[in-house]
């Protein structure tokens, strides 16, 4: 089950961000899926590094394998919103993608989210 940041306590978000900060990009091993997706989706490795180092927590979840994941988002200098999913337990980059800032996330499967992704403020993401 995925949880949007607006459904997490502020201290939890702060702790997740700290955990992602531990050692920046050198700390995070590129998973094979993340590498394949970065190449296929033409996500620059520099944008992934920026998202890890400066991104804000957008969502949190525990995978089917029982590992904790955090999705970070960062608006890069080229005006795109870069998203990076980190596996906090395996210390791997799980996947990455970019989208336009105005993306309304129409293809998002809200059934995968706690409370179907509604968090009271009407917005699922800030960027």
Of 24 and 22, which is predicted with more confidence? Answer: 22
Q: How many CA atoms lie within 13 A of 64 on its CB side?
A: 1
What local confidence, expressed as pLDDT, does residue 20 receive? 85
Torsion of CA 43, 45, 50, 53, to 10 degrees: 130
pLDDT of 5 over the 70 cut: yes
- Confirm whether 40 is domain-assigned: yes
For residues 98 and 82, the answer to whether their CB atoms sit within 8 Å is yes
pTM of the full predicted structure?
A: 0.79
- Confirm whether 123 is domain-assigned: no
pLDDT of 112 over the 70 cut: no
- Confirm whether 64 is domain-assigned: yes
Do strands 68-75 and 80-87 pair parallel, antiparallel, or not at all (unpaired)?
Answer: antiparallel
- Confirm whether 126 is domain-assigned: no
Do strands 2-4 and 80-87 pair parallel, antiparallel, or not at all (unpaired)?
Answer: unpaired
Q: How many domains does the chain have?
A: 1
Task: Give me the mean pLDDT over the 70-91 stretch.
Answer: 90
User: Domain range for residue 93?
Assistant: 2-117
DSSP state letter for 123? -
- Confirm whether 85 is domain-assigned: yes
Q: How confident is the model at residue 109 (pLDDT cuts 50, 70, 90)?
A: low
What local confidence, expressed as pLDDT, does residue 126 receive? 44
Rounded Cα distance between 49 and 40, Å, is: 17
User: Mean pLDDT in the chain?
Assistant: 80
pLDDT tens digit string along 35-80? 999 999 999 998 998 899 899 999 998 888 889 999 999 998 778 8
């Amino acid at each position: 089950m995925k949880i949007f940041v607006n459904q997490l306590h502020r201290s939890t978000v702060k702790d997740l961000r700290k955990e992602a900060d531990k050692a920046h990009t050198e700390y995070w091993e590129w998973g094979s899926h993340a590498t394949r997706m970065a190449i296929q989706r033409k996500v620059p490795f520099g944008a992934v590094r920026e998202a890890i180092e400066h991104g804000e927590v957008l969502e949190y979840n525990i995978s089917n394998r029982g590992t904790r994941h955090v999705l970070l988002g960062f608006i890069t200098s080229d005006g795109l919103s870069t998203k990076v999913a980190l596996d906090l337990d395996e210390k791997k980059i799980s996947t990455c993608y970019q989208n336009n800032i105005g993306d309304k996330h129409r293809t998002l499967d809200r059934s995968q989210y706690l409370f179907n992704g509604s968090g009271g403020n009407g917005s699922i993401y800030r960027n």
